[in-house]
Amino acid sequence: MDIRLIARVLFLRAAWRRRDHWDAARITAHQEHALQELRRATYAGSEFYRRHHAGLHDAPLEQLPSVTKADLMENFDEAVTTPDLRLADLENHLRSLTQSGGDPGLPWKGRWWAAATAGTTGRRGTFIWNRTEWATVLASYA
């Protein structure tokens, strides 16, 4: 049992419940700040997004070119913001989990949670989260 992960999920749920009472202006301000932080981190860490959004880093979202699942999977190694993550390694991990009946709830390399779509559209999507991000995913389901 990962006590740190459980504690983070519970913290997030409590924090998000307090947001239920925010007015529209506070929600908008929070969303704008979160978007600025996301864009800052993305452009700092992802060669793919720096190139894909070249000249548009401050443009409104509706002006940005779309990114399809195929685009993301074809450029996975350049899209992720952690340089030591590679799609081939991640796919091998997921394949190993499936073949061995491993526990997907245990972090890969002690720090990553991973999943993939079934690929019914022709290309499967592969996703990975660190502890903080995984806690956010879990809290969003709770």
CB atoms within 10 A of CB 128: 21
Domain count, the chain: 1
CA angle in degrees (0–180, nearest 5) for 100-106-109: 90
> pLDDT tens digits for 29-86?
999 999 999 999 999 999 999 999 999 999 999 999 999 999 999 999 999 999 899 9
The predicted structure's pLDDT at residue 132:
93
**pTM for this predicted structure:** 0.83
The predicted structure's pLDDT at residue 1:
72
The predicted structure's pLDDT at residue 43:
96
CA 27, CA 107: separation in Å to the nearest integer?
A: 33
> pLDDT tens digits for 85-137?
999 999 999 999 999 999 988 999 999 999 999 888 888 899 999 999 999 99
Q: Which sign, positive or negative, has the C-alpha torsion 25, 29, 30, 31?
A: positive
Q: What is the DSSP string of 43-107?
A: HHH-HHHHHHTTT-TTS-GGGSPP--HHHHHHTHHHHSS-TT--HHHHHHHHHHHHHHT--TTSP
